[in-house]
Amino acid sequence: MFGKSWRRLAPLAVLPALLLAACGGSGDSSSDGGSSSDTIKVGLLHSLSGTMAISEVTVRDSELLAIEQINAKGGVLGKKLVPVVEDGASDWPTFAEKAQKLISQDKVATVFGGWTSASRKAMLPVFERNKSLLWYPVQYEGLEQSPYIFYTGATTNQQIVPALDYLKEQGKKKIFLVGSDYVFPRTANKIIKAYAGANGMDVLGEEYLPLGSTEVSTIVNKIQQAKPDFVFNTLNGDSNVAFFKQLKSAGIGPDQIPTMSVSIAEEEVKAIGAEYLSGQYVAWNYYQTTDTPANTEFVKAFKAKYGSDKVTSDPMEAGYNAVNLWAAAVAKAGTTEVEAVKKAAGGISLDLPEGKVTIDGPTQHVYKTARIGLIGADGQIKSIWDSGSPIKPDPYLKGAEYPWAKGLSS
């Protein structure tokens, strides 16, 4: 009798210990911001397992490379950086949980992490509550500006809008939208439709595929019937493979109906197969072929560390940038303390693989050059058009040059 009830109560006995640990954690976290006498801890939080691992592992690799390079040059504030790597497991609540763990248990100075918008949205309240910093390295749908997140990937006016500008310049008028059924494609398509309406373009169709679905033939048939000038593709993950295979077997090549993709970079081209993608367009801010001295060095260092068959891509470069920008901000602030780093970060400008990258203080996004790329038969992407100079980030599209975007941010 006693034994039975004891067993039932046993878990309760652990509770006080847990509470103590939690209080202890939050009590200490503000004191030293992850720095001890000769090291600074930083967190890397990406999916190392599950469906997103294919993409996120590569970002972690480039962030580790940046940390290694910084340490080789003597570290930050004379202290070595120590990465604490956690696995978000492609599961959004896990991202929030691991972020909390990095902040209160490991007491990291900052976290670099995330890929999908869903994982960012899950982590956002954690960082705001703890007044801790997250550096998010992937292009996204905009309409967000957290005081505790720095966005080193493109927002819409640095990727999607320039892509539409380019297509308009080419005289393409009839567009067809294809995307995966979740927040990024739906928000992106809302923006695209507003742009199209104001610029005399016709949206002939808007189709969504459940994430992971490979039954794309009906959508391809609809594209075939609608005969658009181009397809704007915001599909994510495996669906892209099925989509481009089906386009090919339906006899729709880039000569007939070209596609413009915003989620396919070098790594994905390698996975899908260049033979299905050559001649198609993509929109990013960086390609492995981008011609800057910093990029030559970045590609060389990456291949030396991870193997000569590896490719570099836009999100990897943005992750690499994030680490370098944070280190520069800490050096300027003279401390890893979050508010001081935030204040110091505005206006910091570095020569990085994609060119000159400057942090915009008020939005905590970065200036980025938009580049339209053409996929070659060798799987590499060549820039065929760029915006000339870095574009000022405008996550809510409030600028005077985007009059058509009024009402999107509400």
Partner 1 sequence: MNGFLNQLPIGLSIGAVLLLAALGLTFTFGQMGVINMAHGEFIMVGAYTTYMLQSWAGHNAVIAALPVAFVVAGLFGVILERTLIRRFYGRPLDTLLLTWGVSLILQQLVRDLIDNRGVQVVAPDWLIGGADLGGIRIPYNRVYIFCLAAVCLVGIWFYMSRTPAGRRMRAVMQNRELAACSAVRTDRVDQITFFIGSGLAGVAGVALTLVGTVSPTLGTKYIVDAFLVVVVGGLGQLRGALIAAFALGLLNSYVEFWSNASLAKVIVFVAIVAFLQARPQGMFVLRSRALT
Stretch that binds partner 1, among 109-117, 193-201, 239-247, 300-308 (CB under 8 A): 239-247
- Spatial distance between the Cα atoms of 140 and 268, rounded to a whole number of angstroms: 17
Q: By C-alpha distance, which of 386, 388, 397 is closest to 192?
A: 397
319/62 Cα distance (integer angstroms) = 7
Q: What is the β-pairing status of strands 174-180 and 230-234?
A: parallel
Please tell me whether residue 249 binds partner 1 under the rule CB under 8 A: yes
Question: Can residue 279 be called a binding residue for partner 1 (CB under 8 A)?
Answer: no
- Contact call for residue 27 and partner 1 (CB under 8 A): no
Task: Give the range of 101-109, 270-278, 323-331, 363-371 binding partner 1 by CB under 8 A.
Answer: 270-278
Q: Is 241 in the site for partner 1 (CB under 8 A)?
A: yes
State the minimum distance, in angstroms, from the CB of residue 51 to partner 1.
7
* Buried/exposed code over 368-384 (b: 16+ C-beta within 10 A; e: otherwise): bbbbbbbbeeebbbebe
Whether 160 contacts 192, CB under 8 Å: yes
**Beta partners for 360?**
365
Q: Are 98 and 127 in contact, with CB atoms under 8 Å apart?
A: no
Among residues 166, 141, 167, 168, the alpha carbon closest in space to that of 156 is found at 141
Q: Is 278 in the site for partner 1 (CB under 8 A)?
A: no
Residue 117: count of CB within 10 angstroms of its CB: 18
Residue 219 interacting with partner 1 (CB under 8 A): yes
Whole-number minimum distance, CB 225 to partner 1, in Å?
4
- The gap between the terminal CA atoms of the chain, to the nearest Å, is 61
Specify the stretch interacting with partner 1 by CB under 8 A; choose among 125-133, 167-175, 189-197, 245-253.
Answer: 245-253
> Contact with partner 1 (CB under 8 A): which of 97, 128, 181, 337?
181
Q: Is 217 in the site for partner 1 (CB under 8 A)?
A: yes
Work out the angle between the directed axes of helices 338-345 and 314-333 (0-180°, nearest 10).
110
Give min distance, CB of 141 to partner 1, in A. 19
Least distance in angstroms from the C-beta of 198 to partner 1: 25
State the Cα–Cα distance between residues 298 and 303, nearest whole angstrom. 9
Binding window for partner 1 (CB under 8 A); candidates: 15-23, 26-34, 234-242, 351-359: 234-242
Is 218 a residue that touches partner 1 (CB under 8 A)? yes
Near partner 1 by CB under 8 A: residue from 121, 173, 193, 222: 222
Q: Does 378 bind partner 1 (CB under 8 A)?
A: no
Pick the closer one to partner 1 by CB: 212 or 347.
212
CA atoms within 13 A on the CB side of 80: 8
- Report in angstroms how near the CB of residue 122 gets to partner 1 at its nearest: 22
Q: How far is the CB of 217 from partner 1 (least distance, A)?
A: 5
Concatenating the DSSP letter of every residue in 78-117 gives TBEEEEEEEE-TT-HHHHHHHHHHHHHTS--S-EEE--SH
- Contact positions toward partner 1, by CB under 8 A? 49, 51, 53-54, 181, 207-210, 212-215, 217-219, 221-222, 224-225, 238-239, 241-242, 245-246, 248-251, 271-273
